[in-house]
Amino acid sequence: MARDYTLARPPATSSARAIDYAAELNPQQLAAATCPPGPALVIAGAGSGKTRTLTYRVAYLLENGVEPRNILLLTFTNKAAREMIQRVEELVGLDPRQLWGGTFHSIGNRLLRRHAAEIGFEPSFTIMDREDQKDLLQTVIAECDIDTKGLRFPKPEVLGDLYSLSVNTGKPLKDVVLRRYPYFDRLLDPILDVHKAYEEKKKATNNMDFDDLLSKTARLLRENPGILEFYQRQFQFLLVDEYQDTNSLQGEFIDLLARDHRNLMVVGDDAQSIYSWRGANFQNILKFPDRYPGAAVYKIETNYRSVPEILRLANETISVNRNQFAKQLQPARPEKENLPALVSLGTPTEQARFVGQRILELREEGIELEEMAVIYRAHFHSMEVQMELTARGIPFQVTSGLRFFEQAHIKDVAAFMKVIVNRRDEISFKRLVRMLPGIGPTHAEGLWRKWMDSPVSDPASGRPSPALLEFKVPSKGRKAWEQLAYTLDELLDEEGKPMPPAEMIPSILGGVYDDYLRGKYPNYDSRKQDLNQLQSYSRGFEEIGEFLSQLSLLTGVDNGNTPSQEPDREAVCLTSVHQAKGLEWRVVFLIWLADGMFPNARVLEEEDADGGLEEERRLFYVAVTRAKDELYLTYPSLWPGSHNGDVLQRPSRFLKDFPKELVEEWRVGKGPF
């Protein structure tokens, strides 16, 4: 019969650097940082010192004799892990290099390097980045002998995202395709075939992608009880940062390691769980007490970031959600006597004018531009603001993506128009034809020469389609080539003159380009929204030449206003809510607060509308709690010239979640010209 024997802990350090935890932490932080062993859930509200609490928890364990190698600290960025470990070193005066700290992927990599053979790989396996993955998938697609051009098969980038979502959500690939990519349902069998061949190719070439660092680590532990037991014994204390952002796979990895000793502390804020679209599982944090019976729950509710006026609004807003751990953020700062502003504007252009004018006024009051941010739900919401700030000469940086008019799909649509206006535009012509199946750079060059030799190069010769239809193209691309010819034909009126830009865009999207957009980009829906917004903007132009000139003048190249040119330049931040998480500014403008925009229209139409709406409300809560001193909530009452015509905008339903007394309504008028 086996005998259990327990090694006593080494005596606690008597270092002169012994920490006075009660002096360094507030009572709620202190309770969490010094809690006894066992499962613990720390609900840390926005701006409440979550990272500080976690850092002091590690220091507390070390001071009480836990060896660094017996602690595993899991974070979502290597930067966060490095900063916490460095701070621990400063606190306890010990060398914590043996402490295992890092991202889920980096820890998975360390484990797999030790045990690669158990899952059929060599320890020298290569980790592919996105470009490497794209190249390998391209090779696999070719080896599977799939007629990608004729089928308009998904590009490797799209397949990579599709496969990744399946891995991280734990859902069958078939379900992911049918739910998230329904327009590929007829291609389901070849997509599954490529996935199987891709997995075999990775093993044959000793390659892993980033998702493998999670999935294969979980598999390693699941299928090898001896290895699992070894690491369960080693990692006596597990600490997890940003637990609300973990997906099903990460949750399984944590549960496997903590299954026996249960010394697991997870820290996060359910009210800031906003990443379900990339696989995060809200149930991980919500159901933690159910999975770990007897778990202690600690709440850290003192907010050191925002003034009380902003926190009262945030508390009221998030309280509407039913699925949550109830909490009330308590202000550490004094009253500012300046309520958040609720500002209704006539149109998106007026909304942008208000933002631009107010930014300049605040700058005159002494608030630096980098202390201000414009936050929005979707990237296309920033278009009018980008135009306004450019016109006023206000420098800005866009963190939600490329500047609106610099995005590839915007340039693609503009290329159709440019060819119609300037038939000698070689760059735009080649951009168009290379979108088509079977046409590469060499073939595009030949087609360009034919185009220039044909009567079509003379604007007086009439419509483009007759000459284009005579061009010889690969049989697999013939149908798409004919669509292109007819699309270009539709962009001219009966007299052979270019149509207004707002009438061109529907023809472009209804022709060959929509299929290309679906197969080329993984975020088809958001790019389609961008193009709808472009159409709305184009309604202000009757003449296509003026419209194209304005597009060119608004690019970073032409206005000299790119962050890359002057990285240290004072600039306003334009960001989506997702990109803003974890950041803060003295002044925040939260724009486009209209139903269908924020919350997003697609969420309101989903089967799980309640769950989706609660996540949208969490997004609103995250945006509000980014503001330290001043908050402006704005929305346009009318969306003129949208793809559905002029649309009356209803204020966001989230603006009804709090009493009117918590905001100051601003009535914005127009001054004399």
Catalytic residues: 50-51, 241-242, 272, 626
**Helix 248-258 and helix 156-169, axial crossing angle in degrees, nearest 10:** 40
How many other C-beta atoms can be found within 10 angstroms of the C-beta atom of residue 533?
23
**Rounded CA gap, 97 and 67, in Å?**
11
Bin 195: left if φ > 0, else alpha if -120 < ψ < 50, else beta.
alpha
On whether the CB atoms of residues 310 and 627 are closer than 8 A, the answer is yes
Q: 144-152: which pairs have CB atoms within 8 A and are 24 or more residues apart? A: 144/190, 144/193, 144/194, 144/197, 146/190, 146/193, 146/194, 147/476, 148/437, 149/437, 149/438, 149/474, 149/476, 149/477, 150/437, 150/476, 151/187, 151/190, 152/437, 152/515, 152/516, 152/518, 152/519
β strands within 503-636, DSSP E:
572-576, 585-590, 627-636
Give the single-character DSSP code of 634.
E
Question: Counting beta carbons within 10 angstroms of the beta carbon of residue 204, is it exposed (0 to 12), middle (13 to 18) or buried (19 or more)?
Answer: exposed
Sheet strand arrangement including 372-376: 396-398, 572-576, 372-376, 585-590, 627-636, 341-345, 664-667
The secondary structure element, H or E, covering residue 525 is: helix 524-538
**Rounded CA gap, 67 and 234, in Å?**
10
Bin 120: left if φ > 0, else alpha if -120 < ψ < 50, else beta.
left
